[in-house]
Structure 1
Amino acid sequence: MRSTTIIGSSLASAIGAQAASAQVPSDVETAIGLVNQHRSAHAVAPLTWNDNLANAAATWAAHLKAIDQPVHATEAQRPGQGEVIAHFTSSVGNMAPPFTSAVNKWLAGGASYPAGGVITDGSEAWTHWSQLMWSTSTEIGCGAAQVNKGTETKVFVVCRLTPEGNIFGQSPFPNNAVLARQDMSPGPFNGDITHFTPGVGACGEDDTGAGGILALSHLKMGPRSNDNPLCNRHVKLEANGKVAYATVRDKCMGCKIGDVDVSEDVFIALHNDLGIGRAPVTWTLV
């Protein structure tokens, strides 16, 4: 049994800073919201949704489904449009939200971006990330094609952007430099708390075996590492009527701006159970 689903501009008429959550499926809204959070962290204006781009993306996703290969369209097939693609396979009924999964995969490429890096030959490991961050790109549209075959589901996700980015010899950001906003506001912030095992963190210290350690979101920390002014700041955390304190020593890649990752002792002090993995928290820089 083989079935196909094509997803295109019917997803939404507009997505971006102006989008209302009632107008779009949560997966798409979340995905584009993540992209715009990362763009904001680099002082780049948000992308807005474009139906024509979504139709073009959905058409190419259907083509990828037909040939069963994740290949880019040629310049002639997408004139003036940048393109990012992803594909995933899972058992039927267990597919993660495709647009959010694709965006997280693309954004993860930013971890390997060298500050001030420029596009040389297009083979850089971070080119999907750089196209999403490209400062002169203003619009985005995405589509997906899903096919079920036996017990397996495969989905191809494509996003198109205009104006096109990833221009040879240029950087994603103006003046060939990362212009990330350093968010020094103290809060309070509301988000989720998770736990990790500390080691050598982004602040340059070896915290192996240490307690009272906290990692802030990369969106909060910005791109700076060892000399980051948020390093060694103290944080007050509140949850379940309890209070704990921790010190900023690391950066959490992939965390939303209000989320924190803490050493196990801090998590236990607030929630008394590592097994829950993730829980709500309110925190403030002190």
Structure 2
Amino acid sequence: MMRSNILFVMMMMMVTLIVAAPIDLEKRGGKTYTGTGTWFLPATEGGSTGACGPKEGNNSPIVALNHPQYGSLNKKSKYCGKKIRITGPHGTATATINDACPECKHGDLDLTPVLFKKVIGDMNKGVGKIKWSFI
């Protein structure tokens, strides 16, 4: 009986450790950021290669991450290549971080036209409120 009680206590301690393990919410999509979504044309604004390196086109499902979150513009960010889910007044889309937006504030994203249309809608608006998180 004593042996089974000890095993039970040990199992409960292991469960507690597993449940209490720290989780990086940012990497698991737990934190939601809010900001302004704008659009840009990668092929003509800044060149066809983003700050993260891979080629990008106007119809690529990529975003330029705001400077405060991107980090140093002189090197590749730890967020390069990360997938995010963006929601705006017109809908939701999945994108990859492939560039940096030097003028953008914390939470802002610069979207390619294909993403801007899905998330915000009318290109003539130029800007729209967005929410996004890592997935």
TM-score by length of 1: 0.34
Residues 245, 225 of structure 1: CA spacing in aligned structure 2 closer, same or farther, 3 A cutoff?
farther
Partner-residue secondary structure (3-state), 2:37: strand
C-alpha deviation, 1:268, in angstroms: 0.2
Residues 272, 196 of structure 1: CA spacing in aligned structure 2 closer, same or farther, 3 A cutoff?
same
Please tell me whether the aligned partners of residues 89 and 129 of structure 2 are also in contact (alpha carbons under 8 angstroms): no
Please tell me whether the aligned partners of residues 64 and 97 of structure 2 are also in contact (alpha carbons under 8 angstroms): yes
C-alpha deviation, 1:250, in angstroms: 0.3
Please point out which of 86, 89, 96 is paired with 1:247.
96
Residues 242, 210 of structure 1: CA spacing in aligned structure 2 closer, same or farther, 3 A cutoff?
closer
Map Cα deviations across residues 136-192 of structure 1 (whole Å, 9 max, x no partner): xxxxxxxxxxxxxxxxxxxxxxxxxxxxxxxxxxxxxxxxxxxxxxxx945301100
Does 1:277 pair with 2:126?
yes
Please point out which of 54, 65, 85 is paired with 1:236.
85
Please point out which of 191, 202, 213 is paired with 2:35.
191
Pairs aligned (count): 103
Which gives a bigger RCO, structure 1 or 2 (Cα 8 Å, sep 6+)? 2
- Give the Cα separation in 2 of the matches to 1:241 and 1:195: 15
1:107-118 correspondence runs (5 A):
none
C-alpha deviation, 1:224, in angstroms: 5.5
Unaligned runs of 5+ in 2: 1-24, 43-47
1:76-91 correspondence runs (5 A):
none
Does 1:267 pair with 2:111?
no
Runs of 4+ in 1 over 4 A off after TM superposition: none
Map Cα deviations across residues 79-133 of structure 1 (whole Å, 9 max, x no partner): xxxxxxxxxxxxxxxxxxxxxxxxxxxxxxxxxxxxxxxxxxxxxxxxxxxxxxx
C-alpha deviation, 1:241, in angstroms: 6.2
C-alpha deviation, 1:209, in angstroms: 3.9
Paired letter, 1:195: W
Please tell me whether the aligned partners of residues 221 and 228 of structure 1 are also in contact (alpha carbons under 8 angstroms): yes
- Give the Cα separation in 1 of the matches to 2:112 and 2:55: 13
- Give the Cα separation in 2 of the matches to 1:265 and 1:225: 27
Unaligned runs of 5+ in 1: 1-183
C-alpha deviation, 1:227, in angstroms: 3.7
Partner-residue secondary structure (3-state), 1:282: strand
